[in-house]
Structure formats: structure tokens, C-alpha cells
A and B are shown apart, each in its own frame.
Chain A
């Protein structure tokens, strides 16, 4: 309560101060950024007491103080803080990769791939089927010719099945969960990032073929598509080796070094036109698995230390970007899609788990960790809206609304899965904030 009163006083103080000064050197962005961090932190602490994940609190704080509600954070300030968000995504991807071990992937990799395959296929078919059924009420499908409708349905469904590595990593970091459900969910989410990028590239090519976009947009060559994935593995591997070399030879200023690696890793990926998240995940994975265990432990510890404030910033900014009015108006269409998507995930994981004879807790709870959506999906939405500007605008609104719904519901479900499977001690959870923990073992016996 004390913190809310202080927050209210700070809000009034900031509003009183704004007419006195002038913008310059991003100072307004700094003011709002500082306020947003404090607001997110305060609301995050409150949501923990309500039994919800902190990141939901960060999202709510962003929504409450963002441009679509109290406007304590302006859209200009959010734009100015885009590099912070980019750095956060890169850091989360690197951390996600560093949580995986090669020997465990070898043991359970095939199981995870099969579970993922079932889940993606059923979700994709479910969403596509629902879009066909509801096409009269969906703005970008209602008046479109059959070929265009098919192209848009394929693109929409591919983006809608994406998961969120950032939410998964943030929640595992927050709760300290390292059990079977945590391991399998993280493995599936990371693998799905690769799968979704491949699927999106294929569906984009298909969409461009059956419904060529206006202008002289050219089809991406197959070589380019292969390079985006394979190049990410190569570039990420090279960065990971450099990190491992640094850990072996220098082993100092790890926090600063990991920040630099993620910052420049993202720049390298952009410059070489490879998938950024996959590059950084691979870099984290290679660095973790090539280095001596003590050294990699220290690196992960440094990463996790810097991750706590990064999560606050990332999710609060993500919340601030949610356009509440648009989400509310799109809710009648979005809710059925979200429910069908969740059903597809549930059914797909159930079938996949039975097929691979996974543990009972995996059958029951892993699907709940796959509902979240965030960064990857938003990135793909932007690509589609630039490809088809007219239809892309309404598709963008619908997809962002869907992502917003899943972004809020996903963490709540995932936390519930971890609690129900006994991987989180409910009494201890509120005090656990990104504590250094051993790397996630994907081996079900580990």
C-alpha cells in the first residue's frame, strides 16, 4: 500500500513537472522509463500476493500507465525505448539457450520434437478451420477473393501458433522451477521458435505465390530461407565459441560481457540477415555446452542477475504497447481463436505425450506452458503488415489482440502448471526472483 501511495505521488509529480521542461536527449523517455520500472515493480509485487506471476503484474502496470490508459508513458517514449526492448529480447534468447544442455537434448530431443509436431499441427488446423468458419465476421477475410483469403488464413494461423520463449524463461527464472514440466516446456518452446520461423517462411512463400502482394515485392529465394536458419546456427555457434573462449581466457566482468555479447550478437545477426533469436539462443547453447561447467555456471549466474530488471523493463514495455480499446473491440473474434488455439495445444501435447510415452505430469501440464505469446509473434505480425499493407492492418490488430490475451493468460496458466505439478513451492515462490539455478536438464530422469 505504501508503495502505491508513493507511486501515486510520483505520478502527480511527473505530471506537474512536464510543463516546466522540454524534450531533449530522450530525457522525457528516461522520466517515463523510471516511472514505468517502479510501477511495474510495485504491481508485480502485488500480483505475487494474489498468486499470479510477477510478469503479469509488469504487463498490467504497462497497460495501466501506457498510452492507451493513463498516458504516463507516451508512445514517443516507448519508441525511444525500443533499443532497451531489443536488448531485453536478445538477452532473454541468450539466457534461454544457456539453459539447455546437449547431453539432455540428445536423450529427450526426439520426444520433444514429436510432442511439438503434434501440437503445432493441431493448433494450426484448428485455427485455420475456425477462420474459415468465421470468415464473414473477420474484416480482412470478409471481402477478399478466395485465393487471398487462403493466403491470409495460412499466414494468420502460422503466426497464431507461435509460443513465447521470453515468458517461459522469465517465469522459470521467477519461480526457480527445474522439474520435468519446466524442462519439457522450455525445450518445446525453444524448438518451436525454429519451427515457426521455418513454417512462416514457407507460408509466406505460399501466400506470395497465390496472392502476390501489391508492388514489386519479390519472393525470397530458397537459399535465403535456408541461410536464415542455417546461418543463424553458424553465426550463433561462432559467437558461442567466442564467449566460451572469453570464459576460458578472461573470465571477468561477466555481466558487462554478456550484455555486450547480446547487444553485438543481435547486431551481427541483423547484419548477416539471419534469425536473431535463433542466433542468440544458439550462442547461449554453445557457450554453455563448450565451456567448463564452473565457468558456464558463473556466466549463467551473471545473466540471471541482469535478467531480473530486464524482465521488468521488457514486460512493462510490452504491456504499454497493448492497445486496450482495440483488444476489447476485437475480443468477440479473438476469444474463440484463443480457445481453439489452447484446445489445439492441449490435444496436440496429449497425443504427442502418449505417443512418446512421456511422464503423466507432462501429459497433464506441459500444454499450459505453451499458451503464452510475445516477441516472436509480434515480429512476424510486423512482417505481414508490411507485406500486405491494406489487409495487414486489420490482421495486425486481430493478431496483436490475440497475443495480448495469450500474453496475460499464458503466464497465469504456466505458473498454475508448475504449482500443480509440484515444481514450485507456493510458500517460497514470492521471494524467488531470478536466483541463479543449475542449467535445465531435459533428461526426464534428471
Chain B
């Protein structure tokens, strides 16, 4: 009986503490809430207290897959093509260049670093290094979202940061999903296993066919409760289908979210329906990711984890600076605008957990998961501070913490 009680007490206490403490800290010191749930998960998991046993984690695996899929759908629903078309071209080029450079630099460096650290052939470290590259590309949008309400006006830097976090998510999801297709552990069914290209086509097809069918299914429904049921069913079905075929649920659900958001007039209602349980799923994902963390049998996991955090920071800063330079926006954005992209959150954890769930027994899978967790713990809390160091210092006036930040002031900020 002690186990469940400890679990309840810890969860209830941590939940309340996290809310009080982070509400207070977030308002005063610009700390983003999230990483504390990850730490809570680690404390509850088999590595520390063992309150959340492996069997419980296994029972909750469908929820983890669903949470991963839900994050994909939320990312996808943010891509509204008419707005993209109207956007200022160079900032898209900068965002894509930054994301691609960060992915390639981190992956290439880590292929060598992991091979050297663990005395492995280079070919063996390509898959985990690419997974880490995809994780490194993801940036947390929470920091800029927190600051956005406080800004008097949204200038080019803020738009660039918002766009870069969205493009980072897109590139990270596509890169990771392709990796899962290439490094696919096909089931031994006796027949010919699909090729990586076929898996990639299947992965895209699940999202596109699902998106098209659910476009018709959802219709012009505007009642949020009913819309929520349709969308929940769609995301669950698409996530489950992807997981069943052992491809990442992130890409199909991202496509599903994007198709629904772009082809229906009830786009804002769809976003609302997706947003309704986004936070609960996010917290569930963080707690279970923390609990599922296992440093594994490989010693010195902290070394590659720290190497990853450092390489990622350097790659992000360098890629952002280079992308701005090549596109002639250094003067407008500043040389250090990449700082705003250093924070990592839910998507990084979703990718790492996805890799752990599907490739848990693969070589260095534990290292990939540990590196992602360390990176999120180190950077998530300070996401808003990173963004402020760019927008506050360079072009955007930031109001002090005492200024009211209700919807009215946000509206005024939009107007200006």
C-alpha cells in the first residue's frame, strides 16, 4: 500500500509545488515551466525511487505514443500556407538554412565523437548521431511565446525567432522520420520487407490519406466538443497506425494537422481543439520520458550528453549567424540571434522518446535519450531568458514584470 501512497503524495506535492513555484518564478524571473516535470519523472522512475515501475511504463506506452502524435499534430496545425506565402521571403531562407546547418553540423560532429568515445566504427554511429542531430535542431517555442505578451511591438527579430522555431520543428520531424524509415526494424513477416523509400512513402501516405479523409470527416464543424472528438479520433488512429508500422508518428500527424488547418474554414476551432489537451499530454510526455530514462549499460553517459549540449549550442549559434550572414540579414537580426533558439522542450523529448521506444535495444539508444534529457533540463527553464537576451538587447523593448499582460495589452501589442 505504501507504493501508491508515495506516488500520490509525490505527484500531488510536485504538481502543486511546480504550479506555485513556476507561476511565481515564471512571472518574475522568466522561467519556463516544463523541465521540472521531466525531473519529477526521473525521481519517480525505476532509476531513483522506483515508484513508476517498468510494467507501469509499459502499460502507459500507448499514451506516450499518443502524446508524441499530438505534438506532431500541433506542430502541423501551425503551418498555415496563406500566411507563409504572405511572409517576408528572406526570413524563411534564414530559418531553413539555420535548421539544416544545425542538423548537419551536429550530426556530422557526433558521428565522429561517438565513434571515438566508444571505439566504434563510424557506420555504427551514423543512426544515433542523426537522431541527435534531429533532436538538436528542435527549439522550444515556449520562450518566445512567454515574452510575446510582454512585447510592445513585434519586429523582425521576434518574427524570425517565431518562424525559426516552427521551421526547426518541421526540419527536426522530417529528418527524424526519414531516419526511422531508413533505420527501420521491419517485422519478420516472411515476405519482402519494404525498402526505406517505401517506408517513407507509407509514412507520408498515412499523414496525407489520413488528412484528406479527416478533412471530409471533420467537415465545417465548429462546435469545439464535437470537433475535439473527431480530431482526437483522427490523431489517435494516425499515431497508432504509424506506431504499428514502426514509423515515427510525428511526420504523419504533422501532415494531418497541416492538412486540416489548411483545408478547412474552421482552422481556429481545430487549433483550439488540439490545444485543449496539448498541455496535459505535454506534461504526461515529460513525466513518462523522465521515468523511462535509463542511463543503460554504457558507462560515462554524461560525457556524450554534455558533448551533445555543447555541440548543439555551438552549432545553433554558428548556424544562425551564418544563415543571417548569407541572406544579408546580420544587421537586422544581430550576430547572436541564435541564442533565442537554444531552449529545448517537448519536441526534443518527443523525438528522443520515440527513438527510445522503437530503437530501445539499438546501439547507443540510451546515450541518445540521456543526451536529450540533459539538454532539455539544462536549457528549457531558461528558454525565455535566451529569447530576452536577443529581443531585449537588440530591437524589441520589453516591459518590466509589473506591467499587466492581459489579453488587452497583447491586442495592443499586435496593433502596434
User: What residues of chain A have their CB less than 8 Å away from a CB belonging to chain B?
Assistant: 2-3, 6, 9-10, 13-14, 17-35, 37-38, 41, 80, 83, 242, 246, 250, 252-253, 255-257, 259-260, 264, 267-268, 270-272, 305, 308-309, 312, 431, 433-434
* Residue contact B7 to A26, C-beta cutoff 8 Å: no
| CB-CB contacts below 8 Å: B210-259 with A | 213-214, 216-217, 219, 223, 225-226, 228-230, 232-241, 243-246
B229, A37: Cβ atoms closer than 8 Å: yes
Q: Nearest residue in A to B224 (C-beta to C-beta)? A: A305
Q: CB-CB < 8 A to B279: which residues of A?
A: 253, 256
A21-B246, A309-B229 known; A26-B223 Cβ under 8 A: no
Closest to B9 in A: A264
**Which B residues are within 8 Å of any A CB, using their own CB?**
1, 4-5, 7-8, 11-12, 15-16, 19-20, 23, 58-59, 61-62, 64-66, 187, 189, 194, 202, 209, 213-214, 216-217, 219, 223, 225-226, 228-230, 232-241, 243-246, 276-277, 279-280, 283, 357
A312/B240 in contact, CB under 8 A: no
Which among B235, B237, B240, B280 has the highest number of chain A CB atoms within 10 Å? B240
- Whether the Cβ atoms of A30 and B62 lie closer than 8 Å is yes
Of B228, B233, B243, the contact of A27 (CB 8 Å cutoff): B243
Q: Are B225 and A17 in contact (CB under 8 A)?
A: no
Smallest Cβ-Cβ distance to A259: which chain B residue: B280
Q: A256-B283, A264-B11 are in contact. Are A30 and B216 (CB under 8 A)?
A: no
Contact A10 B226 (CB under 8 A): no
State whether B5 touches A27 (Cβ < 8 A).
no
Closest-CB distance, B34 to chain A (whole angstroms)? 13
Q: How far is the CA of A18 from the CA of B7 in the complex (A)?
A: 37
Are A271 and B1 interface neighbours, CB within 8 A? Answer: yes
Q: A30-B236, A38-B234 are in contact. List 12 more A-B contacts (CB 8 A).
A: A14-B241, A26-B65, A30-B243, A33-B240, A37-B237, A250-B19, A255-B276, A255-B277, A256-B283, A257-B15, A305-B225, A309-B232
B contact residues around A272 at 8 Å (CB): 1
Q: Pick the contact of B230: A23, A28, A41 (CB < 8 A).
A: A41
Are A250 and B62 in contact, with the CB atoms below 8 A?
Answer: no
Contact A38 B217 (CB under 8 A): yes
Which of A10, A21, A255, A309 sits near B280, CB closer than 8 Å?
Answer: A255
- Can you name 20 A-B residue pairings with CB atoms under 8 Å? A2-B216, A10-B213, A14-B237, A17-B241, A19-B189, A21-B187, A21-B244, A24-B246, A27-B240, A33-B240, A34-B240, A250-B19, A255-B277, A255-B280, A267-B4, A268-B8, A272-B1, A308-B226, A309-B229, A434-B225
B61 nearest in chain A by CB position: A25
CA distance A31 to B240 in the complex (A): 4
Q: Is the interface of A mostly helix, strand, loop or mixed?
A: helix
Residues of A within 8 A of B241 (CB): 14, 17, 31
Return the contact of B244 from the options A28, A305, A312 (Cβ within 8 A): A28
Q: Write out the residue numbers on chain A whose beta carbons fall within 8 Å of the beta carbon of B15.
A: 257, 260
| Known interface pairs A10-B213, A30-B62, A34-B236; A308-B225 also in contact (CB < 8 Å) | yes
CA of A31 to CA of B62, assembled, Å: 10
Please report the C-alpha to C-alpha distance between residue A14 and residue B240 in the assembled complex, in whole angstroms: 10
The residue on A at minimum CB distance from B219 is: A2
CA A80 to CA B62, docked complex, whole Å: 9
Given contacts A31-B240, A38-B234, contact A25 B225 (CB under 8 A): no
5 shortest interchain CB distances as A-B pairs: A30-B240, A34-B237, A34-B236, A26-B62, A37-B233
Are A27 and B244 interface neighbours, CB within 8 A? yes
Complex Cα spacing A380 to B163, Å: 56
CB contacts (< 8 Å) of A37 on chain B: these are 229, 232-233, 236-237
- Check A34–B217 contact: CB distance below 8 A: no
B240 contacts which of A28, A246, A264, A433 (Cβ < 8 Å)? A28
A253 to B241, CA, bound (A): 30
Residue of A nearest to B243 (CB): A27
Instruction: Find chain B residues with CB under 8 A from A26 CB.
Output: 61-62, 65
- Which of B194, B234, B241 has the most CB atoms of chain A within a 10 A radius of its CB? B241
* Chain A positions within 8 Å of B280 at CB level: 253, 255-256, 259
Q: Chain A residues with Cβ under 8 A from B219's Cβ?
A: 2
A83 cross-chain contacts in B, Cβ below 8 A:
59
A28, closest chain B residue (CB): B244
Q: Which of B5, B61, B238 has the most CB of A within 10 A?
A: B61
- CB proximity of A316 to chain B, nearest CB, Å: 10
Closest chain B residue to A261, Cβ basis? B12
Looking at the complex, which one of B66, B223, B237 makes contact with A38 (CB distance below 8 Å)?
B237
